[in-house]
Structures are given as structure tokens and as C-alpha cells.
A and B are shown apart, each in its own frame.
Chain A
Amino acid sequence: MHPTRKRRMIGLLVILIGVGLASAVTIYSLRQNMLFFVSPSDIGEQDLPMGREFRLGGLVEPGSVRRAANGLAVRFTVTDGVAAVTVDYDGILPDLFREGQGVIARGQLQTRELFVAREVLAKHDENYMPPEVAEALEEKGMHNKSGQGADG
């Protein structure tokens, strides 16, 4: 290769590697701050302060949803299979809110076990299938509805 072209190519590759390394280091050092939500076990481990807003993510524990007799208030348990937190929410739930499905709740801890949410979003997984197929899988007990989870 022509020496000038070789020099230009090496120069560009050095820039690319430099930018790549710089970004990798930045991303690595920011990895905790870039988490969109924390899991119920993180709450136990990390001693998150009361009264500070954050997002809690996990699965709605099947059978845990209790709705108020009147109004929109709802209480349910969010679990990641290891730890669980009770969530209180007074508002409109997304369409995809189901028992066994993923949710991300934004709010704050009232006590160590009670999280009061201001907003609840539904998180779904990467599986797409027709309703009949989902039913058939359900019957065979193969369709693992908790197949997504806090770690996506």
C-alpha cells in the first residue's frame, strides 16, 4: 500500500481505537448509574434510602394483585424470584399489566417492604406469537411466562 494511504489508515484506526477505549471506560464506570431500574433483591442489598425516587423492576407475583373496592388503588407484589417488595399504586395501569408479567414502577420506599409507586409501566419480553400458539404452549406447561425478568 502507498505510504501516505497507510499513514492515513493507521491514523484513523488509532482514532477509532482511542474513541472506543474511552467510551468503554466511560460506560463501564457509569454502569450502575445507567440502570433504568433496580430489582427487589437490589433493594435489600444496596440499602436504598427512603424518600428518594427510583424505579423498581420485576415480575408481578401471580395471585398478589388486590384492587380496592372503589377507585383505582391497587396493591401487588413485585418479585425477581429471590426477593419481593409490596407496591401500592393509585392510577391507571398499562394494558399489558398482568400477573406474571414484567413491570417497572417509579416511586419511593415508604418502609423497607412497601414501595409507593407514582407510575407503573409494563415491560414485555421478546417473544411474539399468535394467541392460539400461546394457549397451546400454556396447556403443555411449556410457556414460561416469567421468561423475561429484571435482567431483560
Chain B
Amino acid sequence: MNPIMKFIHLMGSPPWFYQFSGRLIPWLWGLFVVLAACGLYLGLVKAPPDYLQGESARIMYIHVPSAWMSMMIYALMAVMGFVGLVWHVRIAEILAISSAPIGALFTAVALASGSLWGRPTWGTYWVWDARLTSELVLLFLYLGVIGLYSAFDEPRKAARAASLLALVGLVNLPIIHYSVTWWNTLHQGSSIGASGSSIHPSMLWPLLIMALATKFYYAANLLSRARIRLIEQDQRKNWVRELLQEGTA
């Protein structure tokens, strides 16, 4: 068996996943804290104000990474949901459903920070343009996935129903991304794309560091949430009993 397949098989073993993720989580949090501290220092202290928007452009360093995460987490949730639905891999189901609250949080942060950025620049907290509306729909999709999951008693059935909703909602992601090109919107177009970036390097670096930091936040938080679901589902199994009776972890 090649090493990658071996790793995937090991990840499918609950005790092994629990141990492995438990060792990984502190490192992921550590990286998040260091990167976020660097990113915030560079963004809020070192970076220059924008020529047009002035100081308010500093909201970018939290708004843009959160908005990216809101979409990336949704895509990952759908992919893991797909793996869960097709192969009935329990750990994939757990990772999919554990992603939903984190994605919802990032969506809420993106919406709130965007609103607080819109007031001093555009002159309004909210408009119903295609970008803002489709991002709000994303929040409702996350809440729908969480709600549907909790409506079932049996966790594996719940995960499958929630994964199916997550997959159907995938159609919203290209709508969010292309909303600013397909329609006239108040929201400006993408600053970073295949053709490069229209953000000055002094402002781009803090943005990219914050974007990397949020990925570690997601990884650490996802594993913490997945571990809880795992011991909750397996609480009558031997490995959880042994784990908790040892008094470790």
C-alpha cells in the first residue's frame, strides 16, 4: 500500500484520528496566533492608508480573508460531504458537518466587516446588490446545513442529509465569485485574480498573511470540533472508555 493510501486508511480509524489530531491542534493554533499577530501588525500599523479610502481600507485585512474562507470552507464541506455520501466514510461526514459552524462564522465576519466598511466608503451599511445578497445566501446555506443536521437523531443519516444540502448549495459559490462581473454591483470587482493583483505590495502582504492565518484557524478549529463529534458518537465504544479512564487527553 502506498504511503498516501495508508495515511487515508489510518485517518479512518477513530482512535488514531483522535490521537493524531490532538497532537496537531496546538501547532495549528500556534501558527495561527503568530501569523495573525504579524498580519495585524503589518495591516493595522505598518501598511499605508489607501489613496482614496484612507484608513477605512484597513478593514480589508479582516474582510477579504474572511470572505475567502467563507467560500473555501463551503467548497471543502461539500467535497467532504461528497466523499461521505459516496463512500460512507464516517470521518469525512464528521469533517463536513464540523466545517459548517466555522464557515458560518467566517461568513458572518465577512458580512459584518463589509457592512462596517461600506458605511464610510460607499455611504451605506447594506444594499441588495448581487455580491452582498449571494454572500447572505451563503450564510443561510450554512445555517440550513447546521439545522438539517440537528433535525435528525441518527448522526450518520443527519450527516448524509446535511451533505446533500451542502452539495446542492455549491451552485452559490460561482454566483458569489462572478456576481461582480456578471451584474452591475455596488461592490467592486476582484482585486486578485489570474492576471495578478491590483493591490499595492505594501497592502497585499498583510492581506496574504491574514489569509494564511485564517486557514490555520480553520484547520485547528475543524479538528477540535471533529474530535468532539467522534467521542460523542463513540462514547459507548472501547477506545473512548479506555481513553477517558486513563485520565489522559
Contacts and interface: CB of A to CB of B under 8 A. Distances in A.
- A contacts B: CB pair < 8 Å: yes
Interface of A: 5, 8-9, 12, 15-16, 19-20, 23, 27, 31, 34-39, 57, 93-98, 101, 104, 119-135, 148, 150-152
B53 interface: yes
A124 B181 CA distance: 15
B121 A125 contact: no
B49 A20 contact: no
B82 interface: yes
A122 B53 CA distance: 11
A93 B123 CA distance: 8
A94 B120 CA distance: 7
Closest 3 CB pairs of A and B: A94-B123, A134-B51, A130-B48
Nearest to B56: A95
Interface string B2-22: 000000000000000000000
Interface of B: 48-54, 57, 60, 82, 85-87, 120-124, 127-130, 164, 167-168, 170-171, 175, 180-186, 188-191, 198-200, 202-203
Contacts, number: 130
A5 B121 contact: no
A128 B200 contact: yes
A12 B166 CA distance: 12
Given A19-B168, A148-B189, 17 more contacts: A8-B85, A19-B171, A20-B171, A31-B182, A35-B183, A36-B129, A36-B130, A36-B185, A36-B186, A57-B184, A101-B52, A104-B186, A121-B123, A122-B123, A125-B188, A128-B191, A131-B49
Contact of A12 (B52, B82, B181, B188): B82
A27 B48 contact: no
Contact of A152 (B48, B189, B191): B189
9 contacts: A23-B171, A94-B121, A95-B54, A124-B121, A125-B188, A127-B198, A128-B200, A131-B50, A132-B48
B128 to A, nearest CB: 8
B139 to A, nearest CB: 18
A95 B123 contact: yes
Contact of B186 (A9, A38, A123, A130): A123
A12 B85 contact: yes
A124 B123 contact: no
Contacts of A23: 171, 175
B121 A122 contact: yes
Nearest to A128: B199
Q: Which of B167, B170, B171, B183 has the most CB of A within 10 A?
A: B183
